[in-house]
Structure formats: structure tokens, C-alpha cells
Structure 1
């Protein structure tokens, strides 16, 4: 972290211990106790985290936001930051983050909260929720092609098993 110049760490993983930090550096540390569950209100932290990351950036620092897998919670907070301080739509922010970390996949509840945040910030939504029958739930339209590809794969797999 010293090599990368990390001066702020945001830990969004209550299941992990505090992030070990260098004792000789004055690193800002924020711990957010939020589980990766659709019903968790992560949106209550969007402004606090986005503003902290921007403050650190403006002072020449660098922020590490982490959870357990870097897929849902930390990605959601990064998306909120990009929407608030980079002026990106949710769709643009998601595409940007996914180009850097392809496995990002905020859970549906977090996506709904990000949609609400985008509506609050921009007055419009760039991502819609669509019903996906095989999951019996709504998913963000931006993820639909990936879910369709997975569904096709599983259908072919099940068909192959039946032929055996």
C-alpha cells in the first residue's frame, strides 16, 4: 500500500478484521459494517464515502475501498463515487469499473440503491431493472446479456446430462 501511495482505506467487510496498516503512516481508516445482502441499506454510506474519496483525491492521496471479493459492496461504493464526483451515469460508471475489474457484480439490492442515487443526482436512470424468469427476480438490464449467456450454458449442460 505504501508503494501505491494509499492514504485512505475503506473496509466494507464486517466479516474481516481491520485492515493491517503501517503504523508510521497517518492513514485515514473507515470501517463500514455492511453485509453483502440485497436488503442491506448500503446507500446510507454513498455520500460519506464518495465525499471522503474525493477529499483524499484532492489532497493528492489515494483510497483503497475493499470488501471480501471486490465484487459487490466495494464496487457499489466506487460506482457511487464516480456518479457523484465524475459526473458519470450509473451505466457509464459500471462500464468503466467493469473495464478495470470485469468480475464486478453488485447484488440486485445494491443496484436498486444505485439507481435511486442516480435518480437523486441526475434526475434520470440509465439502468433499468428487468425481470429474469429463470432467477425469478429482477436484474439490472446491463447484466442481462451475461445472465442470458449463463442460462444458455446451463440449459446446454442440463440437456447433455439428460442424454447420458
Structure 2
């Protein structure tokens, strides 16, 4: 039995916004999101792609027969406001029924729909059925690195006015090859580094200026997004550098944090070496062995 664990809202937000060529929500073995609230609450509004739980006449959860739970990486259930595994309620009941069918722990959303929809109202919907094409065409949001404060994404996300509005973004760190006039229209302050995604490129010289820029905006409760062309290499290196300085993370800790937020992040080898140098400068020693295959 895989068990059940509580799950933070920011982690669900990031799971919903993973993508490669298209949204990962189109993958049949990626995510099953179950809304355990009453049908009328679900119909009024629910988290995007969630299915409503069904119950028999005695109040027992009916396991869907069209889902291969054993092969699904993330099975997440929520009700209105569960906060503890010691509570009783539909989310707990649902999770206990599903434990036997999954290889992975069943994840119970902390705070349920009330908390998630308050933080991410733009990820709520009344839509119930999706075609594969519709799932593939879902436009992901930037991943959340520090809840409500720091985001990381790509150029298309940074130039999407709706995303800037939804995330209340007022400051951007641009390490893409482009600079759009849209940023001025959106009233965003932009720090732009013209640095190629090349192993020879010097990103290290940008770390201190980037850190100061982000600090100045976070101190005024303004959220910030770091982005590059594809949201994979340059922006992830800059984001790690920020975490290493401000949270005193080692390179390994920063790497693991960013990888949990965005699974396909990958700084190029030159940037990894520069991050190792930054680790030496920020904490006084090289703790992380970048010769390990993970890096």
C-alpha cells in the first residue's frame, strides 16, 4: 500500500504547468485529479482537469474503471478544506480507497479547493470533459519557485498579458534573445541580460545585479519572473544563483528545488561551472560535486 500524504498548493500549481512540446496534462499516465466535493460544488467550479468523485448509496467512494491508477504518477484528491490526515472527510475517504490501487502515495491537497482557488483563481473552471487536442493546447503558466514571489518561465509566457495580470507580475528578468515592447504596455520593469545560451557565455557577471534587482522588488511585495527563450537553461541558472545567495542554498539544494518545480530544467555545462564558482563565493566553499552525472 502506497499510503497518503498531504500536498502543498504550490506543488499542484507546478504539476499543472509542466510541459515539453505541449502540456503534460495530455499524458494519460501523468495526473489524475479528483474533486471529492459534492456534485453541485464541482459543477459550479473546480480545478482544471479535475473529475468529480462518485459515491455509492452507502457513501463509499466508487473507483473509476476508466483510469489505470497503477500507472499514474500523480493522484491528487481534494475536498473543500482538508488540512490534516487526522481529519475525517471525503478527501481522506477517497484517498484511502485509492491507496490500494497506486504505486505512489495518494496526495491530499492541503486547504482543498478553498485555498487553491483563492491563490490561483485562473486555474478554476466549469469545464468537465477535455479532448486530447484541448489538453495539448493548454497554455502553461510559469512555474512558482517561491510562492507568490518568484516565478520562472519562457519568453512566450513572459509576453502573455493574461499571465502577467493573473500572477500580478510587475518585474521581469529577461535572459532571452528578445525584448518585446509589450513589457512597457504591461507596466513591467524589465532587467535584460543579453547572454547567449552557450557554454562559453559569462552568466556569472549577471548574478549580483540580478540578485539586487529581485531583492528590491520582493521587498515591496512585487512578484518577479525570470525567463529565457525556452525556460530551460539560462533562467534556471539565474534562479539557482538567486536561491543560493538569498536562501544560502548549496548548488545541490538549489538544483533540487528548481528541478522539483520544473522537471525539464537544464543549465548548460558552462553555467553549471559558474554556479559552482558562485557557491564558493556565497558560502565560502564548494560543497556540490558537479562531476556527478546529475549535473
TM-score normalized by structure 2?
A: 0.43
SS at match of 2:285: coil
Total equivalences in the alignment:
132
**1:36-55 correspondence to structure 2 within 5 Å:** 36-55=197-216
**Aligned pair 1:13/2:164, yes or no?**
no
Partner of 1:114: 275
Q: Following TM superposition, by how much is the alpha carbon of 1:126 offset from its aligned partner in structure 2, in angstroms?
A: 2.6
Q: Following TM superposition, by how much is the alpha carbon of 1:142 offset from its aligned partner in structure 2, in angstroms?
A: 5.6
SS at match of 2:183: coil
Which protein is bigger by CA-based radius of gyration? 2
CA distance in 2, matches of 1:89, 1:80: 10
Residue deviations 1:93-120, cap 9 Å, x none? 1100110001111011000000001001
Q: Does the CA-based 8 Å contact 2:248-2:282 persist in structure 1?
A: no
CA distance in 2, matches of 1:55, 1:97: 22
CA distance in 1, matches of 2:211, 2:250: 15
Which structure: greater helix fraction?
1
TM-score normalized by structure 1?
A: 0.75
SS at match of 1:80: helix
Relative contact order, CA 8 A, sep 6+: which one is greater?
A: 1
Unaligned runs of 5+ residues in structure 1 are: 131-140, 145-164
**Aligned pair 1:93/2:244, yes or no?**
no
Segments ≥4 residues shifted beyond 4 Å: none
Unaligned runs of 5+ residues in structure 2 are: 1-163
CA distance in 1, matches of 2:181, 2:268: 24
CA distance in 2, matches of 1:70, 1:84: 21
Q: Following TM superposition, by how much is the alpha carbon of 1:23 offset from its aligned partner in structure 2, in angstroms?
A: 2.4
SS at match of 1:50: helix
The RMSD of aligned alpha carbons is: 1.6
Partner of 1:4: 167
